[in-house]
Structures are given as C-alpha cells and as structure tokens.
Amino acid sequence: MAKNQESSKKSESPQKYDKKFLTGLLVDMLNIRRFEEKAAQMYGLKKIGGFCHLYNGQEAVAVGSVAALDLKRDYILTSYRDHGHALAVGMSADSVMAELFGKITGCSRGKGGSMHMFDAERHMLGGNGIVGAQIPIATGVAFASKYKGTDGVTLCYFGDGAIHQGAFHESLNLAAVWKLPAIYIVENNNFGMGTAVRRVSSVDDFSVKAAGYDIPGKVVNGMDVLSLYEDLKEVIADARKNSRPWLLDVKTYRYKGHSMSDPAKYRTKEELEKYKEQDPILLLKARMLKDKQITEDEFKKFDDEAKKIAQASVDFAEKSEEPALETMYEDIYA
C-alpha cells in the first residue's frame, strides 16, 4: 500500500537558491496580493459584478506549485478562487482585471468573470464555479496526457469543502485504477464558506484519504513557499516518472471572507492574526533579508511595482470596451 508522508521541510535555508529564483517567487506573490487588494477595492466601487473570491493568504500555494511545473507539458485547473493561479501561470494582470470588469479584453472575453479565468495557451484550464467540478475534468486532462504520451502532469486545486463531493471519490478511484499523472491539491484554508473544516470532516488530515485509493498522500505547509516548492518538485517528479496520482493536504489560510459579501464573523481576530504571523510573503522576505539576498529598499521597490501593475490593470480595464451585443451568441457550445 502507498505510504503517506509528512513534509519534513520546515525551515530550509534559501541559500541554496539563487537570488533571481527567490525574487521571482517573492514578486509573484506580491503581484497577487496587490492585485487582490485592488480587486477588493474595485468591487467596493461596483466596478466588478457577480461573485468574487479572493486569494489573499494563499499565494504561496499557487506560486510555489506552478514554479515546480513545466507548463510546456503540464496543466492546472482550479476552483472559483482562481485569480492567483491565473497570475501565477503568467496571465497578465490586465487580462484578469478586465475579465473581472466584464470587458472584451478579459481572458474570457468578459463573459466569465471572476470564477472563470482561462488561458489554454498557458495551460490554465480554468476556474470553476461548481464546487469540485474541476476534479473530474482534471482527471480527464491527466488521462489525455497519458494517452498522448506527453509526460505531462495535471495539478488540480480545490478546497477543503470540495473534497466531500462525490466527484472527488469517483475521480480519485479512476485516477488510481488508470494510474494517471494527476496531483490533487486540497487548498485546506480551514473553511468552506463559513463552516469550519472540523465540523464537516471526519478527519483532520486529508492526506489519509489517499489510502482509500492506494495512492500516496502528503501533508504540505502552504504558508512557506519554499518548502511547498520542494515538496511539489518531488511529488511532480514522481507523478511524471511513475505515472501515478497523489493527494496533497496543503495547510493554508484565507485572510478575507469567503467572497466579497462575507464579513467572516465565524472566526476570531486572534485566529486571523495568528496566521498572518506566518504570512507567506513576510516569511520569504525575512529569510532573504537574513541571508542578505534582499534589502528593505529592494523589497519596497518590488512592492511599489506590484501596486503599479495592479493600478495599471484597472486603468486598462476601465478603458476597455464591453463585449458587443452580438457577441452574446458567440462562444456557446451547447
């Protein structure tokens, strides 16, 4: 039977990584954080309609895992909390913000909105509004990679609420039987909307569920981008080499409410502050400062640049046109 693993990488020194690589991770996380803050502000100004789920606090998960991929052959799919994943694969802030604004220059031509970021060229096969919908789709993508012999792996991100959907069981069973190179990543942020995970889950550690499919499982620290990157490197290499699925319980935390309409009264300020002490951006910054791989001035420069990119994306979205009325009947498959 496949054995589960606990991440042993708690506080690796970043010294073995060069400054360029670490700066890349830091800048990617900063860009997501500042983008999400700007999106929240624009939502408040009613520039963005519909649902909007922010990724603040969870940045290390998308950034660290995408950094471990080879996006020429690998794919990712995720839930409606998808802005961070879109930016992490290199989609422009302009195309993501314009999508939030419902403009024709958005990545889904303004027809998808917050929950439907998509970029086939960059192998980001979408956010999904239906909880857990991406799990069977990702399983199919992994099947296609195996069938075509591309050696590609598929990362499928979903929440701790989604793991209780029947589609999870059906998908993991098939992925195990067909030995598919799919990595199922529970972004375990402690809550499914306002419901704490301990109130709805029979287990604390989701990786134990891997045993039910005879596949390997692992608990991963989702606040430390470097240890997550290292864990994912190993898991991806194994899934690619041995063509087999994995289940990862990635421990993370969302700073904002479930969506823009949620004041998050179901948790204490103290709990939120406790998690913010291990903020993924500040953790990496502290390590880089300690190892003299960044200065406070450089950090400020990157942060200012991230704010500029977010503001520029708003300017771009504001200036863009809405989809023309006749495009209403385009992009419809059924």
Contacts with ligand TPP by CB under 6 A lie at 79, 81, 129-131, 158-162, 187, 189, 191-193, 258
Cα separation, 299 vs 318, in Å, equals 29
Cα separation, 137 vs 8, in Å, equals 31
Least distance to ligand TPP from the beta carbon of 261, Å? 12
125 neighbors 77 (Cβ within 8 angstroms): yes
- Closest to ligand TPP by CB, 192 vs 323, is 192
Cα separation, 135 vs 126, in Å, equals 12
Task: For residue 96, give the nearest of 42, 39, 24, 44 by alpha carbon.
Answer: 39
Cα separation, 95 vs 103, in Å, equals 9
- Closest to ligand TPP by CB, 220 vs 294, is 220
Enter the tokens of residue 315.
């300017």
DSSP 102-163: T-TTSTTTTSS-TT---BTTTTB----SSTTTHHHHHHHHHHHHHHHT----EEEEEETTGG
- Closest to ligand TPP by CB, 244 vs 258, is 258
Least distance to ligand TPP from the beta carbon of 24, Å? 25
- Closest to ligand TPP by CB, 12 vs 205, is 205
Least distance to ligand TPP from the beta carbon of 217, Å? 18
- Closest to ligand TPP by CB, 244 vs 256, is 256
Chain-centroid distance, C-alpha 128: 12
- Closest to ligand TPP by CB, 125 vs 131, is 131
Residue 262 burial (C-beta neighbours within 10 Å; 0-12, 13-18, 19+)? middle
Cα separation, 74 vs 180, in Å, equals 13
Least distance to ligand TPP from the beta carbon of 159, Å? 2
- Closest to ligand TPP by CB, 7 vs 201, is 201
Task: For residue 217, give the nearest of 235, 192, 190 by alpha carbon.
Answer: 235
Which residue has the closest beta carbon to ligand TPP? 159
- Closest to ligand TPP by CB, 116 vs 258, is 258
DSSP 304-317: HHHHHHHHHHHHHH
Chain-centroid distance, C-alpha 170: 23
Least distance to ligand TPP from the beta carbon of 160, Å? 4
Least distance to ligand TPP from the beta carbon of 296, Å? 33
Least distance to ligand TPP from the beta carbon of 205, Å? 16
Least distance to ligand TPP from the beta carbon of 164, Å? 8
